[in-house]
Structure 1
Amino acid sequence: MKDQIRDYAKKLLQDGTVDGFLALRKDGEHIHPHLFTRADELDSLSLGDLEKPGQARYPLIKVLLRLTRLQPTQKLAVMVRGCEERAFHKLVQASQINPNRVTLVGFSCSQDLADRCGCLKPWPDELVAGEKPDVPPSPKVVTATPKNLVKDMQFLKDNFQRCIKCYGCRNICPVCFCHECTLEEETFVPKTGSTLPPANPEFLFTRAVHMVGYCVYCGLCEEACPAHIPLKIVYKMVANIMDEKHGYRIQDFPGRGQSAPAPDDASNA
């Protein structure tokens, strides 16, 4: 699979289709994001956590967003799996990335990785390498629905109280693109007085509501959370409560095609 991606990316660079290929590079035992600009660099290409399970995951689409903001005329390719492709489409829908200047180089997650993530579509539409898992992966995360609102609200409150407001979930999220963030207001994290943030659940709840219609369930936030909050389940439950109480239905795969806008204005988040 790596050879297929490498050969495809080499052709893109050699024929001038793109100016750079954003992917993962392996330096010794360390794997990190890298913008390949020469075909001969691609021998160090890595597939990340497919090679080191449980490690080496990075928000490549977030890196892509930063690169396109710095160099809007550059033509770039980016290595994506299913969730990353969904994040890319969500940013395109939000007019944050010009799709005409980006080429997607997609690969499928392994069956084991798909099962561990609970992803219902662990492959991108723009599939260059890999095979789709033969057996549909477990729906245990993505299709979770609240059965008892009182019980589920208590579950959410307990998890919200564990949040230490470190911004790890926001900083790693591939679809967080706002220049000004509501979560930085003094209501949530005071700039003066106590050195500790206020013990209230509104911080994470505000983010969870904002992610309705945006979350692509990549799980990076959950991996980054030092409090080990099951954020994918939290976001899905809040989305379902929004649907139940306000009639806003989130799609299983936001970011694919034309999806309904979120009930809030993302530009003010």
Structure 2
Amino acid sequence: MRRTLVLGLLFSCAQPSAPDAAPGDISAAPASASSPKAPAEASPWMEDEGQLPPPGDCVGTVSDTLTCTTDRVGQVISTDGNDVFGNYSCGLPNGPSLQDGPDLVWEFVCPSTGNVVIDWYGLDCDIDLYVLDDTCDGDFGCVAGANDGDIIPGRLDWMCTEGLTYYLVIEGWGYGQLAANGGCSPMDTEGNFTVTVDTAASSACIEICDDGIDNNADGLTDCDDLSCVGDPACAGIESCMNGVDDDLDGLDDCDDVDCPDSDLDG
């Protein structure tokens, strides 16, 4: 199941994006010297791995918190050309790159160690996505990135560790540049795109059995979810729709007197 965020950026679009690629393909050939994706500038950690990374850049810039079950339709507006980050040490297919367009930052706390899958589509201009670790630093903490260099749908699949905070940065590469292959013109002031979290494909988005939330977005919450069978939080509690005798009284689901519509509850 997918949870959708519909977002808009207030930027104008100007210069051509990189050569066309197949939709969703982030394994295309690396950018050439003529590619608009500039290579990353040299950074101290590249030259001296013993040097500690500087503080992150996310303080005061995080616009929202994302979860596996985020379901939000709205618009994010940026009129000040906010450009928090510059260099990124990761990214496919174009490798480390320098970004000078406006960006948006969201915080994500990993619910369980595993992968998280993010899709995006419906782009007016070229955007790039990066995931940063809890240092929130493009040089020192770049976990994964997608910088395909075109107005095409994409998917970013990355690993997270339970309890750690990550930052999803959406870079408006094409905003402030003219996208010659369509979608934006110098008169445009708004660039739209859609981002979805694919919970079904994300192993990190498991059901937490005692928080009152349908974490994996399958329509079942806590002990009603089959993935919570055997979880200590559900011990001795009869779930009325999972086909399991949770409280070990010989009766399951609606045959159990603990269920409101049981045949035994009178």
Q: Is TM more than 0.5 here?
A: no
- Which structure shows the higher strand fraction? 2
Q: Specify the structure having the higher radius of gyration (Cα).
A: 2
Superposition TM-score, scaled by structure 2 size: 0.22
Q: Greater relative contact order: 1 or 2 (C-alpha under 8 angstroms, separation 6 or more)?
A: 2
